[in-house]
Amino acid sequence: MLDMIILLIIAAITGSIGRTLVGFKKGGCIISIVVGFIGAYIGTILAREFSFPDLFSFEAGGIKYPIIWSIVGAALFTAILTLIVPRSKD
């Protein structure tokens, strides 16, 4: 249970960093967690496809979570979201 909470916290941090890099302001903590997990998936796929080294990863409960590639993947995913989601009139 503690490992899952740690993974959720890391996903929230990496997701919020990725969202901040792109400038996406919609959503809160739950959205950051989702973006962090999707970013980890996208970043891992890109790193394997292009044979990039695993720069910094964290392992909890037998699950390896790539920190750097999660941030890169979260930024890419958020950039795609900003193109899809219409802008609000602020």
pLDDT digits (tens, 9 = 90+) for 31-74: 888 888 888 888 888 888 998 888 788 787 787 778 888 888 88
Asked whether the predicted pLDDT for residue 24 surpasses 70, the reply is yes
Place of tokens 């802008």: 87
In the predicted model, what is the mean pLDDT of the chain? Answer: 83
Structure tokens at 46: 């890109």
pLDDT confidence of residue 89: 65
Mean pLDDT is lowest, of 22-26, 47-51, 75-79, for 22-26
Dihedral sign for Cα 9, 15, 20, 25, please: negative
- The residue among 67, 62, 73, 61 whose CA lies nearest residue 5 is 61
Distances (CA, A) of 63 to 6, 7, 76, 83: 11, 9, 22, 32
pLDDT confidence of residue 90: 57
